[in-house]
Amino acid sequence: MNSTWVRLASTVLLAAATVSRAQETPEQVSPARARANFARPIVLGPDDVRIFPEAPAGFKAPRPGAPHGRIEAFTYDSTVTGTRRKANVYLPPGYSAGHKYPVLYLLHGIGGDEHEWLNVVSPNVVLDNLIADGKAVPMIIVFPNGRALPDDRAVGNPFTPENSAGFARFERDLLDCLIPAIQAKYPTFTDREHRALAGLSMGGGQTLNFGLAHLDTFAWLGAFSAAPNTRPPAELVPDPALAREQLKLLYVSCGNRDGLINISQGVHRYLQAHDVPHVWNVDDHGHDGATWGSNLYHFAQRIFR
């Protein structure tokens, strides 16, 4: 096969891999479909490359002598679930009620809850170290349970229609219940330019779905390994001019060994075609904590600046 045919075949395969797929609805979610999603062929384009180095060794290890923030439990009333819901909150080193802070809402994956980020990546330690080095702004981080169901425990089979529907319903829980409750308890800035939303996998899809639909609420967005719950790009960004005007940062990342990469590729290519500034970082990982930790390390340094 000559080089012309090779290039043509590669172009066709890439187009097929990155075509805008319809959003996977809650009714379609199942273990078999999840296995098929992860088994999709991975076809990389010329710009599907790493733009940031791997986070340095020890980036999420407690550093002797460095000031430490703290994690505290938080509860709030939800009109969406009719229950009192739980979250975890990171307060940065030197936290003071007399000082106002920006807030990052950090969302977990389909099988996790408000503890997943803390268990897998230790973002509290990541931020402690970045703040100690002057590389990140002191911020509050909220770790919610993104499954807005009366029984929101991360138990049993996560790939069920009911479970997936709970993640979709979290949009109103986040906007109408959690954010106001956080602002009522903690000294936070309340404008969009001091509020960020990011997440991994299912939480990455939620970030794109909710954040891009509410640019009056969030100016900084980070989607790491976004899952099939992500809406088609044209629905995410129906008005590219508005997105260009309002977004401070849109950070999209995925590992080049992740069968779900075509979802993020499709978002990237749409943003690129419509001149919406964004970060597109493709590292050498799969659908795992290594990519989420490294990309959080880079994302956290670039928000609220």
Residue pLDDT, tens place only, 214-254: 999 999 999 999 999 999 999 999 999 999 999 999 999 99
Q: Are 61 and 125 in contact (CB under 8 A)?
A: yes
User: Residue 126 above 50 pLDDT?
Assistant: yes
User: How confident is the model at residue 32, as a pLDDT?
Assistant: 78
SS3 state at 70: strand
User: Residue 139 above 60 pLDDT?
Assistant: yes
CA distances from 160 to 145, 147, 152 (A): 17, 12, 13
Q: What is the pTM of this model?
A: 0.92
User: Residue 2 above 50 pLDDT?
Assistant: no
**Among candidate residues 184, 187, 180, 178, the one with its CA nearest the CA of residue 94:** 187
Confidence of residue 12 (pLDDT cuts 50, 70, 90): very low
Q: Mean of the pLDDT values across residues 173-195?
A: 98
Which residues are within 8 A (CB) of 270 and not within 5 positions of it... i.e. 6 or more apart?
A: 20, 233, 234, 236, 237
Confidence of residue 16 (pLDDT cuts 50, 70, 90): very low
Kindly give the pairing relationship between strand 279-283 and strand 140-144.
unpaired
Per-residue model confidence as pLDDT tens digits over 106-119: 999 999 999 999 99
CA distances from 137 to 100, 124, 133 (A): 12, 13, 10
